[in-house]
Amino acid sequence: MSYTLTWLAETLEDAGLKVAEQTGWRTRGRGDVGRIRGVMCHHTAGPARGVMPSLNVITHGRRDLAGPLSQLGLGRDGTYFVIAAGRANHAGRGKWQGVTSGNRSFIGIEAENRGIASDPWPAVQIDAYRRGVAAILRKIGADASWCCGHKEYALPRGRKPDPSFDMDPFRRDVAAILAGLAAPPSLIPAADAHDHPTVRRGSRGAPVEALQTILGLEPDGIFGPLTEAAVREFQREHDLVPDGIVGPLTWAALDPRD
């Protein structure tokens, strides 16, 4: 089945954010969404450690609730994991600005955080949260008022506590990004300390050949889908963010002699 939200990954990437597309996300959903009105923010209340340890639960659901549980997951390092292009079970009963069809009308973002004082939000994650929400709102032609917390949407009041941060200053920050008043995001460095350039899908040349050789691939110097798949698998095996981008951290794992 063809789903509506296949623009999610590109929209986030165009905003300068790190994106890890999950296998099969373009055809994953509980049916399709309707008219998307806004974005609903959540926290996972999952494990205390790891970039996105709740990813499997968000993708496949729980015993009491079928997945996907949101379209996007946001790791502690600011990486967006793109999970579904269709409808997700993230909203439940509630209302925001008169809209009661949460699962059909809002894109859900489950950010990895326990939701307690002893698990502070990393600055890089909060920055990515704001920028990702702003990018989606810009795409759908909505302003910052169409960003809500699950705790604001859910009925009866007090039914949900997430996200654990104050939504009013969060919306003000999102509005500043939409207005072009916020500083640009920090991007992956163009090269590491050993002059290994950052490479990704579409890159060509000797660094890609070197990468392919290390990964045991035929070294043709073209960073295509097979190379990207091999990079993602390597990153998963080495507890790196599986975004398919070979930057300083991945180069360090690939070539420990550096």
Model pLDDT for residues 47-85, shown as the tens digit of each residue = 988 889 999 999 999 999 999 999 999 999 899 999 999
Across the range 110-120, mean pLDDT stands at 94
What are the tokens at 70? 């949101």
> With bands split at pLDDT 50, 70 and 90, how would you rate the model's confidence at 204?
very high
Instruction: Output phi, psi for 194, to 5 deg.
Output: -105, 20
pLDDT of res. 71? 98
Measured between alpha carbons, how far is 58 from 42 in angstroms, rounded to an integer? 12
Model pLDDT for residues 27-45, shown as the tens digit of each residue = 999 999 999 999 999 999 9
Q: Which CATH number fits domain 188-258: 3.40.630.30, 1.10.101.10, 1.10.1520.10, 1.10.730.10?
A: 1.10.101.10
Write down the CATH number for the domain with range 8-178.
3.40.80.10
Among 88, 53, 57, which residue's Cα sits nearest to residue 70? 88
What are the tokens at 10? 């590109």
Model pLDDT for residues 85-100, shown as the tens digit of each residue = 999 999 999 999 999 9
Domain ranges, ordered by start, for the chain? 8-178, 188-258
